[in-house]
Structures are given as structure tokens and as C-alpha cells.
Chain A
Amino acid sequence: MKRITDKRIKEPSTHFRLLPDGKVLHDIWEKLEQGAWKNLAPEVFENNVKLGELNRFKSLPVIENFLPVSPGMLWDENKKCLTDPFFKPQLQNVGINDFLNAVEFFFNTFKGKHIGIHLSGGLDSSIIIALLKHFNIPFSLVGMTSTRYEFRTEKYIQELLAPWGNETFLIDYEEYLPLSKLEKVPPHQHPEMLSMNYNTSRAMALECQRMGIDVLFTGNGGDNVFAEPVSANPDACTWLPQIFMDNWLDDFAYAPYGIEVASFYADPSIMNTIYNLRLGKGEDNSKLWARQFFKDYLPKELVNYTYCADFWGLYIDGLQDNSPTVRMLFEQAYDLTGNAYFSPQKTNELLNQDLLNANKSMYQKIESRISLATWLNSLIEK
């Protein structure tokens, strides 16, 4: 197995630590070429996925003793392990003007660049769009759209906000479902769940490039800053801005096309102001506070509305449509590794379940295995 050097994509967002001492490795390409990929622990990867983003610091190595380190994670030299430090807010008396000042400062750091925003039709990205409009900053809009019933509100909001952009382009989600074109995922050093969304994000990146967009703002992180409880004690803050970004997709899908992805809600000043504005407030899954706070900027449909679509339908159809590729990737992984985890029997056990059942733990197992097989496939010289 050889990597394709000329097609290898830089991964600035990731480096590695070699356990047990924690020696820094900027990449592990050489180790992979020497066969480190054979010492794969698929069950460990599956367990890491189950731990979730919030507990990713507890993840164990999947390939030999190489532990991937994502941006924002720190190495504890005493305990010889990774940590994910929480955001440390500063208590301040703030109001709407302080928030607008923080936002204007953030936008000004991108002065002279062609700004794009991910037009998802949801609340979080719509707030950014509304604020850019408030400051008369020109922008373009690009997003995935779906005619599926559950996305009817998102689609309506997309249509409502589309005229606000200098140029707007909506991509049909059905053409770029999750798990599509897995065989095209570029060589990457470590298995990654986000590889299942590579084709979708690449379609977005290509459209951004065509529109001349330099920097793309996403609404990622809105779920955290608007919905999670805000303790009156700033030391109890559990926000992790480093997980607001999908760094892997930024490196692999966007950066190769010259698109910088920026997280509005991970900006420290914006986060700090929202923290103080929501100080002492409890969990707010419907984001009622944000809807009221931004009511003068948003379309009324977003102010009064408190629901959002789930993505189960897209994932289930994505798996159904791409199951021949998935089976091929599993067979190939079994040929390469000889690991029983990818055996035909295990594949049948996994894929002969009722895949129409939106069961999270079942899908976590399926998606873990797909990510592993996709990673192995990406390393093969073609």
C-alpha cells in the first residue's frame, strides 16, 4: 500500500502524539508507509466514536500508539494525556451594543475578502446573515437544499433569505447525500467520521470557488452558545469552541479550493458577550432566548418558530443508495487487513439489520466501520 504523494492533502489541523511519552509527530505518513495501518484497532475507533465529541480527550489510539490531536486540544505532560480546555468567560455587564461591537470587530477582520455564508435555513446561520445585512457588508450565500418534507421550513427560510445575498446558490442535497462517493475521499492519515460528508462539503467548496468566495462563515457552535445552560460561575463554563469547527472537512474539502472556513460563534469576544447576555439562564434547546434577542434582525418566521429538522432521512437514504460501495469497501478492508472486524460474516450481520430503523447506536457502529474502510481505501495507490 502506497500513498499518492501528488494528491496528498495537507492536514494543518491535525498532528499526533506518540504514546506513552507524548512525543510530537507532525504527521505519520512515513509510519503508514512502513505498515502502521496494519496495526489497526477498529473496536477502539468504534468506542471513540461512541464517546462523542465532548469526551474526545478520552479517546484511545486506533493506529499503534499514535494519538491524533485536534486544534484546541492540549497535552498534559504530567498525566501524559490529552485535555480539552473549556472556554474561560470574563464576567461583564453587556448589552446589545457590546454584542454588535464584538460582531463588527469580527467582521472587520475579514475586510477586503469576499464573504460567503452557509445558508442552511436554520437559526444560527440566519443570525449571521442578518447581522451582515445590518452592517451593510456585502456577502454571498451558498447552501444545501432539500425538498424532503422535514426540511420544509429550512427551505422556506432559504427562499426568504436568498435575495439578501449579492449572489445565492442552493445545491440539491439529493445529488450529494451523506456517504456518497466514499471511494473519492482523498488520502488521510487517520480514520475520520466526517469523511462520510466529504462529497457534500466538496460540492459546497466547489460552488464557493465558482462564486469567488474567500471565506465561508458557518453557524456551527450556535447549538452550544444558544442552547446549553450558562452558569453564573464562569469557572463552570463547559463550552468547547474548538469543537465548533469541522476541522477535517475544512482541511480536506474546503482548503484545497482556497476556501477558508470561519466559525462566527467560536470568536472569543462574540462567545464572551453571548455568555454574559445569557448569564444564569438554563438549557434552551428551542433557542427561545436567541430568537427573542435577534427578533429585530430576523424574519418573523424564525422568531416564532422553535423546531428544526433532523437529518435521519438523508443518512438512511445515503446508506441505502451507497450500500454496494460500502460492501466493496468492507471487502477490500478485509482483504488488506485480514481483520475479522471486516469479514463477510460481520458485514452481513451489520448490514442485514433493519437499516430503516433510525437507531443511533446501530448507525454509530455502521458509520464507524465505514469510516475505517474509507480511510484504508484512501491510502491505496490507484
Chain B
Amino acid sequence: MMKINSLEVRHKDFFYYFEPITGALLKRSGASSTKKKLELIEKVSNALILNDEPYKLNMPDLNSVSNSYNIKNFKKYAVNLTYATLKSFALGKLYTSFKQPYFENATEAITFYRSCSLIKNQSDLCLPRTLFAASLSKRFKQNGVIFIGVSLPSKSMHAWIIEDGVQPDPFDTMWVNFQPVAILY
């Protein structure tokens, strides 16, 4: 199962952090709760740097996306994962642990999910989409990270991936406005 770390974010007099079981954003006043600096593996620290300096990211290569996948099983998986994630953050995360990678990279997986006509209102489905891509991308385990972020001072939240120096979703133009409060890898 994917590991998860919560990151603390400050805005004015409050600290915001991610509750890893429920997936809720919590807020506190007072001092920072981070007692020691989080020790991060290389792929996570590299992705965090790219997140902070997004102009260093490479563009996703959409020309190499294949359309020749056996789609039936993955359509069903996409629908079930979406349902599970909308029910519960923990359930969605757990559901991804039973899948073996299939797509060459997250760009291919996200393109597949976005083309899945059974799933409506895609703009609200950033979390199941990233979980889908992370669980099925052959590159994610080696060099991918899911970010969950908040746009402060609103409570609006968003999820996205950085994998191999690329933010793989060409239709996601809003991720840059969200400050990471959790990382999954």
C-alpha cells in the first residue's frame, strides 16, 4: 500500500495539516506540531522541489500515448476505485493496493481515465484519477509521488502527480495553486 506523509502548511495564524485516515484537512492555531524535520526519500524530495519550482518540470509526451490497451478491466477498475474513493479516502487508497502496474507511465493512465465515458464530472475527481494513475503506472513506484494540496485561505483541495519530472495531466491547469499538505508514494 502507498505510504503517506502529512506536511504542515501555515497561513497567517493557523497551521493546516492532513489527517491520513479520514483524508480531512485540519486546522490549528498555536505552535508548529512538526517536532523533527521529515526525512524523505530521494524521489519525494525531488518531486517536492519540482512542485516548488514548477517551471523546471518537463511537458508530458502526449504523442507516445498508446490507445491499444485492453480497456475492459480497467474501465471497471476506474469506476470501482472512483466509487470507493468518494466513499472514503482510506478505502480508495486500500483498493489501489490490489493492482499491478499496466500503463507505461502516469500520462497514459490519466489519459485513459479521462477518456472513460462511464465516469462523469471529471473535474471533481482529481483524487480517484491520481490514485488510478499511481496504481497502474509502471513508473510510479520508482519515481512518482501523489500530492494532496490546499488552496489557502479557501479550504479547496486538489490532488495531482509528479512522475519522472512531469506533471502528467495536461488538462489539470489548476494544481499549481495548491500547496501540498500530504504526499503519497
Contacts and interface: CB of A to CB of B under 8 A. Distances in A.
A308 B177 CA distance: 8
Contact of A357 (B55, B58, B155): B155
Nearest to B52: A152
Contacts of A312: 151, 154, 177
Interface in B35-86: 52-59
A153 B155 contact: no
Given A306-B59, A307-B54, A150 B153 contact: no
Given A313-B152, A313-B154, A156 B53 contact: yes
A380 interface: no
A98 to B, nearest CB: 29
B153 A356 contact: yes
Contact of B151 (A152, A156, A286, A358): A358
A317 B153 contact: yes
B176 interface: yes
A40 to B, nearest CB: 32
A310 B177 contact: yes
B15 to A, nearest CB: 14
B8 to A, nearest CB: 13
A307 B176 CA distance: 7
Contact of B154 (A286, A304, A356): A356
A108 B172 CA distance: 41
A153 B55 contact: yes
Nearest to B180: A149
A153 B153 contact: no
Contacts of A156: 53, 55
Interface string B105-142: 00000000000000000000000000000000000000
Nearest to B59: A304
B173 A307 contact: yes
B174 interface: yes
A152 B54 CA distance: 9
Interface string A309-331: 11011001100100000000000
A286 B152 CA distance: 24
A105 interface: no
A309 B152 CA distance: 13
A285 interface: yes
13 contacts: A149-B152, A302-B55, A304-B55, A304-B57, A304-B58, A305-B57, A306-B59, A307-B175, A309-B176, A309-B177, A312-B154, A313-B151, A316-B154
Q: Which 6 A-B pairs have the closest CB atoms?
A: A301-B55, A307-B176, A149-B179, A150-B177, A305-B55, A358-B154
